[in-house]
Amino acid sequence: MAMKIENIDKLRIVNYPTPVLLKVAAPVETFDDQLAALVDRMFELMRLEKGVGLAAPQVGIGLRLFICNATGEPDDDTVIVNPRFVELDGAEEADEGCLSLPEVTVNVRRAKSVVLDAQDLQGNEARLAAEDLPARIWQHETDHLDGKLILDYMSPADEIANRRAIKQLKDDYRAAKAR
């Protein structure tokens, strides 16, 4: 089943509580020019917002695909399709933001190093390993593919600190739907 994506050049980053962000994404089954165009658009949007990672659900597309670049160097652009973690090691807490949750920051405990099996943009299988920031990005973006957000990690203190920003996102979403 190939997913037809209309107007890739018009895709934008969607904000919480857009429903696609809260659903498990479908596996990518078709590796074609349309998928490559989607990835190109995602890199444009990620760079525009000065992010380090972006998952397909964040642009409204429910596919198991994310892009990332921890350094900002063009040679470090990474595309990860249909990821499956095979190893998570260590633990580290750090504040995380999210392009779909502007103004929200949550302290999240994640594995310090990870190994995952995935596919590249051509559908080739690969085993990849990362630690520190790239490992954190991979875990954050894979959470998006599983319908999970940094909100799911909030402590009571995080809830208080982010209450106003989350309410604003919900109000903005309701107002946009009403138009």
The count of other CB atoms within 10 Å of the CB of residue 61 is 20
CA pair distance 48, 41, nearest whole angstrom: 11
Quick one: which of 31, 50, 27, 49 has its CA closest to 39?
31
CA pair distance 143, 162, nearest whole angstrom: 20
Considering the candidates 6, 73, 125, 141, report the single residue annotated as catalytic.
Answer: 141
Cα separation values, 121 from 49, 103, 150, Å: 23, 32, 27
Based on the residue annotation, tell me whether 87 is a catalytic residue of this protein.
no
Sign of CA dihedral 122, 75, 114, 139: negative
Strand order in the sheet with 125-131: 53-55, 65-68, 78-89, 113-119, 125-131
Measured distance between the N- and C-terminal CA atoms of the chain, rounded to whole angstroms: 33
CA pair distance 126, 30, nearest whole angstrom: 17
The residues annotated as belonging to the active site are 141
